[in-house]
Amino acid sequence: EPEVTQTPSHQVTQMGQEVILRCVPISNHLYFYWYRQILGQKVEFLVSFYNNEISEKSEIFDDQFSVERPDGSNFTLKIRSTKLEDSAMYFCASSNIGLAGGPYTQYFGPGTRLTVL
């Protein structure tokens, strides 16, 4: 069964450094997402991406964040200058287009645990 994959599984970085989290969405999906989950808190939406551009972003997704689909398979989240409060699990998700008003059922990857020291 197709699945979303993410690398690395765990990333440790120093405050102020740049990190790139990588995701390979399910191959025939057209919508891509990033969510984060701070330890002990609920999963929060960061950004959605469709047709090579951001379709929606949350208030969390400020100028230090950016997303890119550099080729036909990868989807990346870049955090430019990491802060201590960026420590969290970051989940990539993908969905097929909601045809005829149907749902955008999202499938999640296993996550990248980001630790900022």
Partner 1 sequence: TQLLEQSPQFLSIQEGENLTVYCNSSSVFSSLQWYRQEPGEGPVLLVTVVTGGEVKKLKRLTFQFGDARKDSSLHITAAQPGDTGLYLCAGEGSGSRLTFGEGTQLTVNP
Closer to partner 1 by CB, 6 or 87: give it.
6
Q: Is the Cβ of residue 15 or residue 104 nearer to partner 1 in the bound state? A: 104
Backbone φ, ψ for residue 25 (5° rounding): -70, 170
Is 95 a binding residue for partner 1 by CB under 8 A? The answer is: yes
Contact status: 103 vs partner 1 (CB under 8 A): yes
Who contacts 98 (Cβ-Cβ below 8 Å, separation ≥6)? 104
Q: Is 32 in the site for partner 1 (CB under 8 A)?
A: no
The answer to the question of residue 33 lying near partner 1 (CB under 8 A) is yes
Q: Is 2 in the site for partner 1 (CB under 8 A)?
A: no
8 binds partner 1 (CB under 8 A): no
Question: DSSP states of 42-92 as a string?
Answer: --EEEEEEETTEEEEE-TT--TTEEEE--SSS-EEEEESS--GGG-EEEEE
